[in-house]
């Protein structure tokens, strides 16, 4: 039996979407009859990644510097206030993460040791190929004899408007070992085709790749008795939060929020989420996360994966644009492409637009189901062909 090793943003992750897609891709491979696991790649101490231009502290205004200092101080205070509840969430996410088949921990210096452990290497989904994130581990540059392996990507995400010159140079060499390439977003797939002159497919996120029953069975029982709007925000926009409060009141629904935890060693809650929501949920693992969406009356979010699960559980939903100060960062493209897949552009709430002005017409989930089913079948065929390409 051939064994698959998947590299993703798996190691030590507490991100619902990131762990859901890692679980799903591995689950799909095992359902296909492969032995499969996540390569537990710890890149925290990495020395290099392909750079993305960042705003220097010297270019910030006095007001921005003061705001930055305030946020750090406030988040430290908030961390202490929420410490016990956050520890429970962290433990529950670790329990889910550890249950996903995975390798021993590897670093940039040791990852080459796994070469003989797998027949097939897969660059999995999530933003592992984004400038500023991608490195040699995420493109298997440690392989001494890549020609003896099957190396493919599945729904890797890039999410930038333009591919930096250093990035193109690095990826030109890195992609030579790949016999099949697929990305999650159509926009960046076009960029890859132009930059690297390669056949690049667009495939669904692994959460949509597996049967929907996987998630229905995983969701916990209903957590709350009352009817509610469920809100999960990754961004830090205050105006959007004020508008969401007004929307929940207009619907006569309880506003239930899940404060997003920043991916940091300090495990911090955003300042903007302090006291945001009628009920704040902290002790939430993956089954509880799914339950909060499954039993909501309405889902309001700027999270790609919360949008995916809203469809899976057939919930009325709105996807919010996330404001960005980085002109090269097109984080919202995954939202646009998801709504394009669904055929529901009316579910988008643009920056500055109010939920109160959105049309509340019923969503035709039968039409969405037909579109998703077609895309899912195409994605499954891509994987079937990619895993057997060149007779490897």
pTM here?
0.90
Q: What angle do CA 54, 56, 61 make, to 5 degrees?
A: 125
Q: For residue 106, is it left (φ>0), alpha (ψ between -120 and 50) or beta?
A: beta
- The superfamily (CATH) of domain 219-371 is Glycogen Phosphorylase B; (3.40.50.2000)
pLDDT of residue 208: 98
Encoding tokens for residue 192?
């890859």
Most distant CA atoms of the chain, gap in Å: 62
pLDDT of residue 275: 86
pLDDT of residue 75: 67
Selected residue with higher pLDDT from 132 and 374: 374
CA torsion 351→356→357→363, rounded to 10°? 100
Selected residue with higher pLDDT from 98 and 329: 98
Is residue 47 very low, low, confident or very high in pLDDT (cuts 50, 70, 90)?
A: very low
Instruction: Determine whether 269 is exposed, middle or buried from the number of CB atoms within 10 Å of its CB (0-12, 13-18, 19+).
Output: buried
N- to C-terminal Cα distance for the chain?
13
**Does 11 have pLDDT greater than 70?**
yes
Could you tell me where in the chain the CATH 3.40.50.2000 domains are found?
3-52+92-211+373-391, 219-371
Dump pLDDT digits (tens) for 244-274. Answer: 999 999 999 999 999 987 665 556 778 888 8
Average pLDDT, the chain: 90
Dump pLDDT digits (tens) for 80-92. Answer: 677 888 889 999 9
Is residue 111 very low, low, confident or very high in pLDDT (cuts 50, 70, 90)?
A: very high
**Does 197 have pLDDT greater than 80?**
yes
Percent of the chain with pLDDT over 90: 74
CATH label, 3-52+92-211+373-391, candidates 3.30.70.260, 3.20.20.70, 3.40.50.300, 3.40.50.2000: 3.40.50.2000
> Which residues, at least 6 apart from 371, have a Cβ–Cβ distance to it below 8 Å?
341, 342, 343
CA dist., res. 172 & res. 31, Å (int): 33
Helix (H, G, I), strand (E, B) or coil at 305: helix
Report the relative pairing of strands 3-7 and 35-41 from DSSP bridges. Answer: parallel
**Does 141 have pLDDT greater than 80?**
yes
CA dist., res. 310 & res. 300, Å (int): 9
pLDDT of residue 70: 63
**Strand order across the beta sheet in which 254-257 lies:** 279-280, 254-257, 228-232, 298-301, 316-320, 348-349
**Does 391 have pLDDT greater than 50?**
no
**Does 390 have pLDDT greater than 60?**
no
């Amino acid at each position: 039996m051939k064994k698959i090793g998947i590299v993703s943003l798996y190691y030590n992750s507490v991100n619902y979407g990131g762990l859901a897609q890692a679980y799903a891709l591995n689950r799909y491979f095992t359902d296909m009859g492969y032995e499969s696991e996540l390569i537990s790649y710890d890149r925290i101490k990495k020395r290099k990644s392909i750079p993305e231009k960042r705003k220097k502290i010297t270019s910030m205004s006095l007001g921005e510097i003061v705001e930055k200092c305030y946020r750090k101080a406030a988040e430290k205070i908030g961390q202490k206030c929420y410490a016990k509840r956050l520890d429970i969430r962290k433990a529950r996410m670790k329990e889910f993460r550890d249950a996903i088949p995975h390798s021993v921990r590897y670093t940039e210096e040791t990852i080459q040791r796994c070469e003989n452990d797998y027949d097939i290497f897969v660059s999995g989904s999530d933003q592992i190929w984004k400038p500023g994130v991608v490195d040699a581990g995420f493109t298997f540059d440690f392989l001494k004899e890549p020609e003896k392996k099957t190396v493919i990507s599945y729904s890797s995400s890039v999410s930038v408007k333009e591919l930096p010159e250093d990035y193109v140079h690095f990826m030109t060499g890195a992609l030579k070992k790949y016999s099949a390439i697929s990305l999650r977003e159509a926009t960046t797939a076009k960029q890859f085709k132009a930059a690297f002159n390669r056949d690049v497919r667009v495939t669904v996120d692994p959460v949509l790749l597996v049967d929907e029953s996987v998630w229905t069975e995983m969701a916990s029982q209903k957590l709350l008795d009352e009817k509610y709007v469920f809100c999960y925000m990754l961004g830090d926009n205050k105006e959007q939060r004020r508008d969401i409060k007004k929307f929940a009141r207009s619907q006569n629904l309880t506003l239930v929020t899940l404060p997003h935890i920043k991916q940091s060693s300090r495990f911090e809650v955003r300042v903007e989420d302090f006291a945001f929501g009628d009920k704040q949920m902290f002790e939430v693992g993956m089954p509880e996360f799914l339950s909060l969406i499954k039993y909501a009356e309405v889902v309001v979010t700027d999270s790609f994966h919360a949008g995916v699960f809203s469809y899976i559980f057939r919930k009325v939903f709105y996807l919010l644009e996330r404001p960005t100060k980085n002109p090269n960062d097109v984080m919202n493209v995954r939202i646009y492409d998801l709504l394009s897949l669904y055929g529901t552009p009316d579910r988008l709430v643009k920056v500055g637009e109010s939920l109160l002005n959105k049309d509340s017409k019923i969503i035709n989930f039968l039409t969405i189901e037909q579109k998703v089913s077609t895309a899912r079948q195409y994605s499954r065929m891509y994987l079937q062909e990619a895993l057997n390409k060149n007779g490897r």
